[in-house]
């Protein structure tokens, strides 16, 4: 419109420009135009921007001046993260309040904005938060508690808003740990119905994280320790005066708001001097409550100011009789809601009532599916929403590609009461729950065929409605059969949103229900989901295998091949994690047999990937490389990574597994390139678990192997930040082990307790990947610290584990370390035993083709022989290994070997 000022731009042109590849309703355009007018501040004297040309389109009515673009731009500062919703309206009359809150937050860490419903608490809080985005290094985060009815979900709502993937049984403790060293503002909005839970969470966060500030909104104080209360005053209204002019009235924010909202209904509305005292009187009657004023102003198209004032007088007389105990401002808002409601048509009332069953945002399709029936058609619902948006009873969010709608908490509570009085509540909540079961059943069918981000964009917004539907379904008045079916359908949503503990709790509730409401298919899916949640949350414990086995037995009885594959995969992963590699291979062969009957390429390739990884740990590096390179080649034909079924991107997993194998086989440069490629691909998936796995199993270990401690430190810092936001029990312990290894490599004894604690925590959950190498590094560190006995014990434990589990990939390295410890003893017998260990290490390395381990051992043996006076043999041994390398000559081991060879040749 600005490109063609003064010209009419048709609706068709605008819709084609804004939504070129999307079919949208006409109401989308109307909603956007309304939001545009509000954002530009139409309603102030002389401010007219967008004009409607009825039947044709819109035109930009304000003068437009074209200026030459600047030839230089100021440097762009890094944007601070936040999740604040897009502002659809101007903040009117709250400048001094916002300034006061900004000053208070600089001195006090916890402030609650308190005021009556509809007075504008959320608007003020959002304005303050937006002004402070640049002030908080780790962002500003908004948490809307209005949709929640279960106090236990308060901390989880914050976790979701922060984008974390915390799967601890004590989410508050994990939150405090994550927030401990961060500077952040958290906005807890609409706390009044969850006062105790909100207060407890705020107290715990304030006490546990010194850089956290909290701005809460509530109709009453939270009464929590450290809380400062700021009571929000009503919008200022003009005093009563028959001589009040329009210009004088518009100096008061309540009148400004009234006029701006009136223009949204009647775009050519102008406040004249004759009406100014009447409009000011309306604002006084409504006690300066923003929502009440908005509701009144939207009816300016049907009634003039005088009639509006008279109707409100009538309503207040009734309220004074009916609600004598209500506070004045509560009466004012109730009056505005009652009055607005009574002016609606019967159809509009029904639509508003029925929409109140939605806890969160909804689209037109969902609204029609839930609210429409034989009496009210889908078209009636859509038309009703359009009308209710115009009357400020429904809020439209046009910030995304699809307009979504919601009811303000105050309006929703009011309409829900009306729905209950109409006798339709039971019918609507049932229909709402059943509709979300259908939605999530459809979503489950799409989850493996669509990118995760796109899938979540379509279905993630439904989480609050799913929670409410489940609460109803499992209540005394609910329907347990719907609850079970909805739980089954919700499992992919919980998993994709990393709501692992919520998933587990929901499944436990469904499994505890009366068995009459479940069938074998339900139980099969519930047990499979429960096992996956438990594996994420607690690690590969025996009870997890037991749940996988239940799911598998049911799937086999039903002949359901997909749900035979899921437990087989879970059981194989569990065996892999605990170091039972032979049984893991047996399970993977069973998996492959079933997968071949389904002819699903992704299943087969994921199986081959894990087989290759298992062969690596068993010590067959050449076959492991062949298997993984074949898998990677085949994965190029797949469009999606199937994160949903296998928990992380399998193509990326193949790459980071291959990283370690390439280094072992003597290709350090190729390994570094593969690690970088894996990390880039992981970041492209935007999937937390995949990125975490690349850092833990690929990039960080490789940096330690090649001796690049500076890069290892950078990657480790990145990993620690990532684990704080997305930690699971196992991954956090692995992260501590890797951090301990880095500190040991730097000669820092502080790495020893960290490494020991990480090993112990992994042992507690039976997780044994790289367990012997962790013990070997611990042994080296203990030896350097003078704890010789403990060092030898650690190495003996590592070698014993390798014998017990057949985990042979690091046998050569463990024998080398044991030889080093024996050599340090100094006794002739110990030195002789050390040489035997070195020779055994070389044999293991050559058997596996592990050229990098062979080089390390050759260095140790060559140095021993040099001290014994046999330099020629030492040089020949070390050169014979060094000369087989074709790359990686700038890595630490090869540089060290070259230096020793040169010294030996000079002897």
CA 393 from chain center: how many Å? 31
Query: How far, rounded to the nearest angstrom, does the alpha carbon of residue 16 sit from its chain's CA centroid?
Result: 33
CA angle 585, 590, 592 (to 5 degrees): 90
**Within 10 A of 735 (CB to CB), how many other CB atoms are there?**
23
Q: What is the edge-to-edge ordering of all strands in the sheet holding 9-10?
A: 9-10, 57-60, 50-53
For 95-231, CATH number out of 3.40.190.10, 3.40.50.170, 3.40.50.300, 1.20.1260.10 equals: 3.40.50.300
Distance CA 15, CA 66 (A): 25
Chain mean position to CA 861: 51
> What pLDDT shows up at residue 125?
95
Helices marked H in 391-478: 409-422, 425-446, 452-459, 463-473
Taking CA atoms, 881 is separated from 767, 850, 860, 874, in Å, by: 34, 11, 13, 11
188 in helix, strand or coil?
A: strand
C-alpha span between 855 and 853 (Å, rounded):
5
The whole-angstrom separation of Cα 627 and Cα 608 is: 7
Look up residue 618 and give its two tokens: 């068993």
Please state, in angstroms and rounded to a whole number, the distance separating the CA atoms of residues 736 and 743.
11
If one looks up domain 600-708 in CATH, what number appears?
1.25.40.10
Q: Specify the 3-state DSSP secondary structure of 396.
A: strand
Helix (H/G/I), strand (E/B), else coil: 215: strand
Q: How far apart are CA 464 and CA 406, in angstroms?
A: 12
- Asked if residues 494 and 537 have their Cβ atoms less than 8 Å apart, the reply is no
Number of H helices and number of E strands within the chain?
43, 10
Give Cβ neighbours of residue 153 (< 8 Å, ≥ 6 apart).
Answer: 467, 502
CB 394 within 8 A of CB 355: yes
Q: If you count them, how many residues does the chain have?
A: 907
**Mean pLDDT of each 10-residue bin along the chain, 907 residues long:** 86 83 68 74 68 79 69 48 79 91 94 89 93 93 90 87 71 82 94 92 92 94 93 89 90 92 80 92 87 86 85 61 44 72 91 95 93 93 90 79 83 90 95 96 84 80 93 94 96 85 93 90 96 88 95 96 92 93 94 84 84 95 94 64 57 91 97 94 78 93 96 94 79 94 96 96 92 96 95 96 93 97 93 96 97 98 95 96 97 97 91
The pLDDT assigned to 868 comes to 93
Distance CA 682, CA 676 (A): 10
CB-count exposure of residue 833 (10 Å: 0-12, 13-18, 19+): middle
CATH class, domain 344-423, is mainly alpha
Closest CA to 724 of 7, 178, 282, 155: 178
Identical fold for domains 344-423 and 600-708, yes or no, is no
The whole-angstrom separation of Cα 52 and Cα 58 is: 5
The CATH class of the 9-60 domain is mainly alpha
Task: Centre a 10 Å sphere on the Cβ of residue 23 and count the other Cβ atoms it contains.
Answer: 6
- Residue 886 class from Cβ within 10 Å (0-12 exposed, 13-18 middle, 19+ buried)? exposed
Tell me the sheet residues that pair with 110.
214
| Token pair for 462 | 């439904």
Task: Note whether 235 and 253 are within 8 A (CB).
Answer: yes
Strands 50-53 and 57-60: antiparallel
Q: Are 604 and 631 in contact (CB under 8 A)?
A: no
Query: What pLDDT score was predicted for residue 651?
Result: 83
Give dist(CA 207, CA 212) in Å, integer.
9
Do 669 and 887 form a contact (C-beta atoms < 8 A)? yes
Q: Which of 652, 653, 651, 673 is nearest to 662 (CA)?
A: 673
How does DSSP assign 156-171, residue by residue? HHHHHHTT-----S-H
Q: Where are the domains of the chain?
A: 9-60, 95-231, 246-328, 344-423, 600-708, 810-907
Q: Using alpha carbons, select from 573, 502, 417, 491 the residue that is nearest to residue 148.
A: 502
Q: Specify whether the CB–CB gap between 292 and 286 falls below 8 A.
A: yes
DSSP string, 54-118: TTTEEEE-S-----PPPS--PPPPPPPPB-PPPP-S---S-HHHHHHHHHHHHH-SEEEEE--TT
Q: Tell me yes or no: is domain 810-907 CATH 1.25.40.
A: yes
Q: In terms of Cα–Cα distance, which of 337, 508, 320 is closest to 417? A: 337
Q: Provide the whole-model pTM.
A: 0.78
Q: What is the pLDDT of residue 824?
A: 92
Assigned token pair, 227: 């809380």
User: Closest Cα partner for 367 from 344, 388, 392?
Assistant: 388
Contacts of 396 (CB under 8 A, 6+ apart): 27, 31, 34, 35, 88, 389, 403, 404, 405
CA 490 to chain centre: 16
If residue 279 lies in a helix (H) or strand (E), which one and from where to where? helix 276-285
Report which of 117, 736, 36 is spatially closest to residue 399, judged by C-alpha positions: 36
């Amino acid at each position: 419109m600005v490109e063609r000022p003064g010209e009419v731009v048709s609706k068709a042109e605008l819709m084609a420009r804004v939504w070129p590849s999307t079919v949208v309703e006409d109401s989308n355009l109307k909603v956007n135009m309304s939001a545009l007018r509000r954002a530009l501040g139409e309603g102030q004297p002389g401010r007219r921007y967008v004009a409607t040309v009825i039947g044709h389109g819109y035109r930009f009515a304000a003068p437009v001046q074209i200026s030459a673009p600047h030839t230089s731009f100021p440097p762009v500062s890094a944007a601070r993260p936040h999740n604040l919703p897009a502002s659809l309206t101007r903040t009117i009359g709250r400048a001094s309040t916002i300034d006061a809150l900004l000053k208070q937050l600089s001195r006090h860490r916890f402030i609650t904005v308190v005021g009556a419903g509809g007075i504008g608490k959320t608007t003020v809080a959002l304005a303050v938060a937006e002004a402070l985005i640049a002030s908080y290094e780790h962002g500003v985060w908004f948490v809307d508690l209005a949709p929640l009815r279960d106090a236990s979900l308060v901390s989880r709502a914050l976790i979701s808003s922060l984008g974390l993937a915390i799967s601890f049984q004590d989410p508050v403790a994990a939150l405090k740990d994550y927030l401990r060293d961060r500077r952040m503002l958290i906005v807890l909005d609409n706390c009044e119905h969850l006062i105790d839970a909100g207060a407890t969470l705020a107290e715990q966060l304030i006490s546990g994280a010194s850089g956290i500030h909290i701005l809460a909104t509530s109709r009453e104080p939270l009464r929590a320790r450290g809380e400062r209360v700021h009571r929000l005053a009503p919008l200022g209204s003009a005093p009563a005066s028959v001589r009040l002019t329009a210009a004088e009235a518009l100096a008061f924010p309540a009148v400004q708001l009234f006029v701006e909202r009136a223009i949204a209904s009647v775009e050519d509305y102008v406040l004249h001097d004759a009406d100014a005292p009447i409009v000011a009187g309306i604002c006084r009657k409504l006690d300066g409550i923003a929502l009440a004023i908005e509701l009144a102003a939207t009816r300016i198209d049907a009634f003039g100011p005088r009639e509006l004032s008279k109707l409100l007088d009538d309503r207040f007389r009734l309220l004074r009789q009916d609600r004598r105990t209500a506070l004045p401002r509560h009466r004012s808002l109730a009056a505005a809601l009652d009055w607005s409601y009574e002016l609606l048509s019967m159809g509009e009332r029904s639509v508003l009532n029925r929409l109140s069953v939605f806890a969160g945002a909804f689209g037109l399709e969902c609204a029609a599916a839930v609210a429409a029936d034989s009496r009210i058609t889908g078209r009636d619902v859509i038309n009703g929403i359009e009308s209710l948006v115009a009357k400020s009873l429904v809020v439209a969010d046009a910030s995304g590609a699809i307009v979504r709608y919601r009811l303000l908490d105050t309006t929703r509570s009011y309409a829900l009461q009306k729905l209950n009085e109409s006798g339709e509540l039971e019918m609507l909540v049932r229909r709402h729950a059943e509709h979300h079961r259908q939605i999530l059943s459809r979503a489950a069918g799409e989850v493996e065929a669509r990118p995760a981000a796109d899938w979540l964009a379509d279905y993630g917004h439904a989480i609050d409605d799913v929670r409410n539907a489940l609460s109803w379904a499992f209540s005394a008045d609910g329907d347990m059969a719907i609850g079970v079916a909805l739980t089954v359908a919700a499992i992919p949503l919980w998993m994709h949103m990393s709501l692992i503990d919520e998933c587990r709790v929901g499944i436990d509730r469904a499994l505890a229900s009366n068995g009459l409401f479940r069938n074998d298919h339900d139980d099969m899916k519930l047990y499979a989901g429960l096992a996956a949640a438990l594996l994420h949350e607690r690690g590969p414990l025996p009870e997890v295998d037991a749940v996988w086995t239940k799911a598998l037995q049911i799937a086999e009885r039903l002949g359901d091949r997909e749900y035979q594959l899921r437990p087989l995969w879970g059981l194989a992963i569990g065996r892999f994690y605990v170091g039972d590699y032979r049984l893991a291979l047996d399970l993977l062969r069973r998996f492959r047999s079933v997968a071949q009957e389904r002819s699903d390429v992704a299943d087969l390739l994921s199986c081959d990937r894990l087989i290759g990884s298992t062969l690596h740990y068993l010590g067959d590096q050449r076959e492991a490389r062949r298997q993984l390179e074949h898998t990677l080649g085949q994965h190029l034909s797949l469009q999606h990574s199937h994160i949903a079924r296998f928990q992380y991107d399998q193509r990326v997993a193949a790459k980071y597994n291959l990283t370690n194998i390439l280094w072992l086989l003597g290709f350090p440069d190729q390994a570094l390139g593969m690690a970088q490629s894996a990390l880039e691909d992981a970041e492209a998936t935007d999937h937390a678990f995949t990125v975490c796995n690349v850092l833990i199993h690929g990039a960080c270990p490789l940096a330690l192997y090649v001796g690049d401690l500076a890069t290892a430190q950078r990657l480790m810092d990145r990993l620690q930040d990532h684990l704080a936001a997305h930690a699971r029990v196992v991954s956090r312990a692995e992260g501590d082990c890797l951090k301990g290894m880095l500190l040991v490599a730097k000669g820092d004894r502080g790495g020893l307790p960290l490494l020991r604690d990480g090993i112990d925590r992994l042992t507690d959950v039976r997780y044994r990947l790289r367990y012997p190498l962790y013990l070997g590094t611990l042994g080296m560190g203990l030896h350097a610290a003078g704890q010789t006995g403990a060092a030898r014990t650690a190495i003996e434990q590592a070698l014993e584990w390798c014998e017990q589990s057949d985990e042979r990939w690091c046998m050569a390295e463990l024998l080398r370390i044991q030889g080093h410890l024996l050599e340090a003893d100094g006794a002739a017998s110990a030195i002789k035993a050390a040489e035997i260990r070195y020779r055994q290490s070389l044999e293991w390395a050559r058997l596996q083709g592990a050229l990098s381990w062979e080089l390390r051992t050759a260095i140790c043996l060559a140095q021993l022989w040099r001290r014994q006076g046999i330099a020629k043999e030492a040089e020949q041994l070390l050169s014979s290994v060094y000369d087989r390398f074709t790359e990686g000559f700038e890595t630490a081991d090869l540089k060290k070997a070259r230096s020793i060879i040169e010294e030996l040749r000079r002897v």
